[in-house]
Amino acid sequence: MKIALIAPPYPLEEAPSPPLGLAYVAAACEAAGAEVRIFDFIVSRYTPEKLAAALDSFRPDAVGSTAVTMNFIQAVSILKDVKKHNRKIVTMMGGPHVSFDIENSLKIYPEIDLIVIGEGEETLSELVPALTSPEEWEKIQGIAFRKDGKVFATPQRPLIENLDTIPTPARHLLPVSRYLALGYPVSIITSRGCPNKCIFCLGRKMVGYKARFRDPSLVVDEIEDILSYGFTRINIADDLFTANKERVRTLCAEIKRRGVTFAWSAFARVNTVDREVLEVMKDAGCDSVSFGIESGNPEMLKRIRKGITLDQAREATRICKEAGIITHASFMVGLPGETKETLQDTSRFARELDIFYGYHFLAPFPGTTVREEIEKYDLKILTDDWSRYDANSPTVCSSKITPEEIVSFVKVYDDTLDCQWQEVVKRYEKKQCTPHEELLVEGKKRMNFIFKLLSEDIIEEMCCSAAPVADPVALFASNVASEIGGDYPFVSWTIKTLMDAGYLKCEAVNGSVRLFWTHNRNVDELPVA
């Protein structure tokens, strides 16, 4: 059995990092006996022709994709291209969007043959051997497909009780060097489950109310494996990392016992941290914590079932600062009952905390309480164009405030940040900025440039020299600068640093020279990556 897995495109603004869920799926498929390849279009350009070449090279029996609501349409479009190329290939999809919109996904999109619902590892262990035998699918819990022209879902599969039985994510199948070059942290989970009841969140429905924890020793094993690839920063992506303080202490103690050194961040709730646990996290390398506070209005917090108070938020951010941990908060706009006054409450409270913060628009994803019970919340869904569900623009409105008023509120904040950034850029250009500001400007410039190289396949399509070249960096920097713009010194410096790090390599072939991305720093990239 050969299975190709798709990582659909993801915008730079959403901080693309190595796809953790897909790496778990790949590991489960490998454990079930399949030969697996990942076609990663997050850090490379997608075209139907490129997909066709990859399919012809690998010749998979099945192609699967995961997707969140925001990139669901792109993922479906790729599966449609798969079917156009070879209709015999079994196509499947997993992830939160299709798990909670089964009927529509299978009725509207014939290019999806099968949906893996919810937590998929144990389901895949049974499904993989039967992928090309549809008559066997009815016997497998946790999937949905078409039967006799109708959508058919098998019984729900129980959640995995022991997370330590799940294979470690198959990061060896990812184009690791490309992600290292881009510079975002790699994610890991140490637990699954969320006991909270926020009306806008899918966490508890996707992975259950009860927190299930991995063995700290196995978590640190995985951390050491991640660091061996060259990553130096890890994001703990648990729905609620600090759900059990004793376990946090045990995990941090294991990190310290082994002498594992790395920087890491985590998500937490303001009512689940205290000074002692934050100091333990800091001592083990944690330098950043993110809180979802959502609103600065107490009644709003009750309405969305957040289960926190403003005083708890004040205390949590205060002790984070005292522990020396960078603190970030996210606030949501367009919530049920939102008014101009509640928005101002949020604005005042966010500024009072004196931390980094940002705004997101409420997005009623399939499966969320707010979408399923929308009539209770004086909200109207404005669109089912899933590409707009990136939380960066209104997808709902209420009778008390217009979408335009909410957009205007966020724009004031965004414009203020942009104005501050432009001032930093001006100081940088005049060589009057601080060393920290210089790092920020050059880091952003470098990240945007590298993402352009990756997402547009600039390196792959760059013409080779007609003869060996003594200085390949100079040759390719000149070509790249001419192709996509940018000053030559910056382009030359960036390409040199990528080559010095082993992310890019140069080779002579039949008298010509080509530059190419490596799979990781020591292994050439797979032809289909």
Residues 136-159: tens digit of each pLDDT: 999 999 999 999 999 999 999 999
DSSP 3-state of 472: helix
Q: How confident is the model at residue 180 (pLDDT cuts 50, 70, 90)?
A: very high
**Of the ranges 45-59, 83-97, 161-175, 467-481, which one carries the lowest mean pLDDT score?**
467-481
Q: What pLDDT was estimated at residue 427?
A: 96
Please count the residues of the chain: 529
Q: Which domains does the chain have, with CATH numbers?
A: 2-153 (3.40.50.280), 185-401 (3.20.20.70), 457-524 (1.10.10)
Start-end of H helices in 335-402: 340-353, 369-372
Question: How far is 378 from 401, CA to CA, in rounded Å?
Answer: 11
Is residue 470 very low, low, confident or very high in pLDDT (cuts 50, 70, 90)?
confident
pLDDT at 528: 41
DSSP code string of 250-292: HHHHHHHHHT---EEEEEE-TTS--HHHHHHHHHTTEEEEEEE
pLDDT, averaged across the chain: 93
Q: Using one digit for the tens of pLDDT, what is the confidence trace for 409-447? A: 999 999 999 999 999 999 999 999 999 999 999 999 999
CA 258 to chain centre: 28
Mean pLDDT of 305-333: 97
Q: Which residues contact 336 (CB under 8 A, 6 or more apart)?
A: 199, 300, 303, 304, 370, 377, 378, 379, 398
Burial (CB count <10 Å: 0-12, 13-18, 19+), residue 392: middle
d(CA 347, CA 345): 6
**Dihedral sign from CA coordinates of 310, 312, 317, 322:** positive
Residues 20, 23, 24, CA angle at the centre, nearest 5°?
90
Nearest Cα to 116, choosing from 92, 132, 139?
A: 92
320, 356 in Cβ contact below 8 A? Answer: no
For residue 134, the tally of other CB atoms under 10 A from its CB is 14
User: Within 10 Å of residue 196's Cβ, how many Cβ atoms?
Assistant: 19
Coil, strand, or helix at residue 165?
helix
**Model confidence over 87-105: pLDDT tens digits?**
999 999 999 999 999 999 9
The answer on pLDDT for 387 being more than 60 is yes
Residue 90: both structure tokens together? 């079994």
In this structure, how many other beta carbons lie within 10 angstroms of the beta carbon of residue 439?
11
**pLDDT bucket at 526, cuts 50 / 70 / 90:** very low
pTM over 0.85: yes
pLDDT of 469: 65
- Edge-to-edge strand list for the sheet holding 504-509: 504-509, 512-520, 523-524
Q: How much of the chain is helix, strand and coil, in % rounded to 5? A: 45, 20, 35
CA atoms in the 13 A half-sphere facing the CB of 116: 27
Q: How many CB atoms lie within 10 A of CB 446?
A: 18
Q: Name the residue among 106, 113, 142 with its Cα closest to residue 126.
A: 142
Q: How confident is the model at residue 463 (pLDDT cuts 50, 70, 90)?
A: low
* Tens digit of each residue's pLDDT (9 = 90 or more) over 192-248: 999 899 999 988 888 988 999 999 999 999 999 999 999 999 999 998 899 899 999
Q: What is the pLDDT of residue 14?
A: 84
CA distance 307 to 489: 53
User: Could you give the CA distance from residue 520 to residue 446 in angstroms, rounded to a whole number?
Assistant: 20
Tokens, residue 509: 């072939």
CA distances from 374 to 197, 364, 367, 379, 398 (A): 16, 9, 11, 6, 11
Q: Given phi > 0 = left and psi -120 to 50 = alpha, else beta, which region is 2?
A: beta
74 CB-near residues (< 8 Å, 6+ apart): 8, 9, 46, 67, 387
Q: Is the pLDDT of residue 457 over 70?
A: yes
Pairing status of strand 90-94 against strand 62-66: parallel
From 41, 37, 85, select the one nearest 67 (Cα to Cα): 41
Tokens of 203: 């966490």
Cα(88)–Cα(75) distance, integer angstroms: 18
% residues pLDDT > 90 (the chain)? 86
Return the exposure string of 395-414: e unless at least 16 CB atoms fall within 10 Å of the residue's CB, then b: bbbbeebebebbeebbeebe
Confidence of residue 306 (pLDDT cuts 50, 70, 90): very high
Count of helices and strands (H, E) across the chain: 20, 20
Helix (H, G, I), strand (E, B) or coil at 360: strand
Pick 119 or 465 by higher pLDDT: 119
DSSP 209: S
If pLDDT is split at 50, 70 and 90, which confidence band does 323 have?
Answer: very high
